[in-house]
Structure 1
Amino acid sequence: MLLPNIAMWAASAIAAIWKISQLVRLPQDKDLRVVTACAVLVFTALSAQLTVGATREQLGQLPKLLQNVILIFFFALLILLLQSVVHPLTVRSRGLFEVVFALLANVGLVVIVTTTAPGARGYSYENVDASRPGVAAFYLVGNAYMVYATLRGGQLAWVAGGQTESRARLSLRVAAAGLLTCCLGTHLPRTITTSGWLLLGRTLLPGTPVWTTPLLAIGIGIFFMGVGYPGARTAIIKARLWLETRHRYRQLRPLWQALCERFPSIALFPCEKPIREAFHLRHMRLRYYRRVIECRDGLVCLSPYVTEPINSTIPTERQASLFYDALQRSANGVPVSSVSTIAAPQTAGMEADTQELLSLSRAIDRHRPHQYRPDLTNVGQPDRDLR
């Protein structure tokens, strides 16, 4: 059963790292502190579980005891957090009960471990010695508390989800489903089985050491999916916006490159080759907006050299042809009397402006003259022709 345990540990590690990174950015968020503490406790408990097999000869039952103690404190914190959301007026009185109940469960586990002979202690539920009353009692106490904690936590998470209209609603409902999966698929069957071992001397549910562990991994995975859903959704939205911004940024390059070759002073930084530009990952929105502004500045500089008036009825392909013609005229330093703005937006707003620039840039890239070869060696340097 090593693979499910590793899967649970990996999920808890990702959740703990993610919540810690959020807490670093928002250290004053009290609810986030509690959630982060819960995630770290789960990670610590599952880490202790993984060490059981590797250190059982040296440390005996200590890692297993540590795992159960930490998990009990985790669920006490989780229930208190959900209680403060669902029934904030009763959180003080109910919180005292949860703390006392968790302490009693932990005291029971410690007493059982310290009074059980070392050779009789089970190292994990999968290889538990059911003939030993102390071992059966240890797993009965731990799983009985977990039945209560997962059932209570799932019920509170479901009710809390019904009280919110934000995207946290789905998050809480998924987390509740994960807790109920752990309860019904793992802790309740194990409680029934250990009760049969201890009270009747026989197994009431066969095979629980085999099929309950995968269900526990599934339940924990669903729980962390619910906890991580809002952040994952935000990350997906940010990634989509980043990709769209990067795509637009690269689409503007033909227009921007041609203007920077003729009017180097519009570029804040020296031009880079496309292959190097492809590795720009940070500050993409800032780079994109800067390129939009530089393109518009370049078109303003180019406008005195446009030979005919331009309005919204002129096709983009025709504007691209006039654009290259104006570039040739500007190289000769011969402005015309009229001033026309290429790719003028039809409506106010930056989005309308950028859409016109993108359309013009695509048309320029499609209809670039074969004889036109931009020289970017002076980009980022003062333009002597504009002095």
Structure 2
Amino acid sequence: MIVFVIVCGMSVAFVAALGWKIFQLFKAPRDATLRAVTLCLISAAFSFLLARQPFADWIASAGGPGAPRLVQNLFVLSMVYWLMCFYLYSAAADAAEGNRRARREALFLALAAIGLLSATVAAGVHDHGANFQGSDLRDPALVSFYLVADVYLVYALAMSLRWTCAYARASQRPLATGLWLAAVGIGAMAASCTIRAVLTVVRWQGSTVPPAVTWASGVIIALAVPLFLIGVSYPGAATRIAAMRVRRQHRRMYHRLGPLWQMLHVAYPEHSLYRVPANPWQDHLLPLGMNRRYYRRVIECRDGLVRISPRLAPTKGLVEEQPEWADDLADQLYTALHSEQPQAAPADAVPVAMPMTQSLEDDVRQLAQLSDAVRRRRVLAGTKHTD
């Protein structure tokens, strides 16, 4: 049951990562590195799906018993090729250089694909479509098939591992963490392919391979692939989680600033920055909508305080070290906004509820404390009116 839950969780994570990369690629179709990552994930998905029923049966009925194994391995080789291309494009000085490097590596991929196809055709009637463990490796064609695949995989994975470690050492968290996880997964996959190549030669010579060794090789690859996917997905997931945390904080502060904003907005509606949004549903539903509304509310609150500041009493003592500063200033705001005195010119503006440091977070915290005081005054006024 635990294994099933883990497999389902990894499948959902992989589908989510693939869908996100495809969405990004549609937005930036000329991004070569993004295209390489997307094609790498697509190749991995096809290599997994086409090895399962009923896809494997359809491929076998069309191309023979060895066709499913051939198609699956071709997609595996394509996966590691596009993984290399990601680093080739990233390290290239320009797009032309990256394309030249990718084309050069494509020649090795083409040679490996031709080798797999030739070995599959040569196996002919002796090929029953069995997996590595069930194949008769006394057949030179099947030996060639697995050796060609393993040699190319070891080469491509070793190159990718070198670049991954280099980028991980030069990066910062969370990217560095994801790259190191991916490096461990790539290294484990390279080790598993190396072990399988050695086992292929041993079985070709007629020697017996202990089942534990074959089992260990399978376990390594079974653990390496999810670890690699986790490493690839980790930076994006960590960034999304951090963004969600910031949006949650902005949403809380947005509602906390409500009483102060409402008081100033009623007095100065012309300070509204976004009175008629073109797409109001997007402004409320999209992830960035809350951030925009939060910053608008902060700016509008500060503009309103600048406008009303000349009509307030001197701010001596109204500093954050004084516990009653917010309540005193809230009383002054209410009095000033409901008085009959003419409004002063904005040129006479003075600092109001300013933090001790030049920080947006501290400024918002000051505004939030003042807004809390406005809310308390409103509740108290409502209670007195009821009495």
| Alignment-derived partner of residue 190 in structure 1 | 196
Aligned Cα root-mean-square deviation (Å):
4.3
Check if 1:101 corresponds to 2:108. Answer: yes
User: Are 1:215 and 2:220 matched, yes or no?
Assistant: yes
Of the structure 1 ranges 17-26 and 65-74, higher mean CA displacement relative to structure 2 is found in 17-26
- Measured after TM superposition, the shift of residue 3 of structure 1 is 8.1
Task: Report the equivalent of 1:381.
Answer: none
What residue ranges of structure 2 are gaps of 5+ in the alignment? Answer: 61-65, 277-282
Match of 1:55 in 2: 55
Partner of 1:22: 24
Question: How far apart, in 1, do the equivalents of 2:369 and 2:184 lie?
Answer: 49
CA deviations over 1:132-160 (Å, ceiling 9, x no partner) = 73555544442343233323332343345
The aligned length equals 360
Show the counterpart of 1:256.
261
Does the CA contact (< 8 Å) of 1:120 and 1:132 recur in 2?
A: no
2: distance between equivalents of 1:178 and 1:109?
Answer: 25
Match of 1:234 in 2: 239
Task: Check the 8 A contact 2:138/2:205 in 1, yes or no.
Answer: no
- Selected match of 2:340 from 326, 333, 341: 333
Q: Are 1:72 and 1:102, in contact at CA under 8 Å, matched by a contact in 2?
A: yes
2:365 matched residue in structure 1: 355
Match of 1:152 in 2: 159
Tell me the distance in 1 between the aligned counterparts of 2:86 and 2:265.
57
Give yes or no for contact 2:33–2:85 (8 Å, CA) kept in 1: no
Residue 69 of structure 1: aligned partner: 74
- Could you tell me how far apart the structure 1 residues matched to 2:72 and 2:188 are? 20
Paired with 1:269 and 1:286, the residues of 2 have a C-alpha distance of 13
1:27 aligned counterpart, secondary structure: coil
Q: Which residue does 1:377 correspond to in 2?
A: none
Q: Does 1:247 align with 2:252?
A: yes
Among 86, 100, 112, the alignment partner of 2:119 is: 112
Question: Quick one: distance in 2 between partners of 1:310 and 1:109?
Answer: 82
* Alignment deviations for residues 214-240 of structure 1 (CA, whole Å, 9 cap, x no partner): 422321223233334443443344333
Greater RCO (CA < 8 Å, at least 6 residues apart): 1
Matches of 2:262 and 2:223, distance apart in 1: 53
User: How far 1:106 sits from its partner (Å)?
Assistant: 1.7
More moved, 340-349 vs 363-372: 340-349
Partner of 2:279: none
Give the conservation status (yes or no) of the 8 Å contact 2:318–2:329: no
Match of 2:15 in 1: 13
Deviation at 1:180, TM superposition (A): 0.9
CA distance in 2, matches of 1:7, 1:76: 26
Quick one: distance in 1 between partners of 2:215 and 2:73? 20
SS at match of 1:363: helix
Structure 1 spans left out of the alignment, 5+ residues: 271-276, 374-387
Alignment of 1:306-385 (within 5 A): 306=312, 308-313=313-318, 315=322, 317-324=324-331, 326-327=333-334, 330-331=337-338, 333=340, 342-345=352-355, 353-366=363-376, 368-372=378-382
User: Does the Cα contact within 8 Å between 2:318 and 2:325 map onto a contact in 1?
Assistant: no
Once the two structures are TM-superposed, the CA of residue 360 in structure 1 deviates from its matched residue by 1.1
Distance (whole Å) between structure 1 residues aligned to residue 331 and residue 42 of structure 2: 61
Q: Secondary structure of 2:54's partner?
A: helix
Residue equivalent to 2:185? 178
Cα 1:152–1:263, aligned 2, differ >3 Å: closer, same or farther?
Answer: closer
- TM-score after normalising by structure 1: 0.73
Rounded to whole Å, the distance in 2 between the matches of 1:165 and 1:329 is: 54
1:36 aligned onto 2:41:
no
Residue from 79, 85, 89 that aligns with 2:84 = 79
Do the aligned partners of residues 311 and 6 (structure 1) sit closer, same or farther apart at CA in structure 2, a change above 3 Å counting? same
Q: Tell me the equivalent position of 1:296.
A: 302
Tell which deviates more after alignment, 241-250 or 76-85. 76-85
Cα shift at 1:100: 3.9
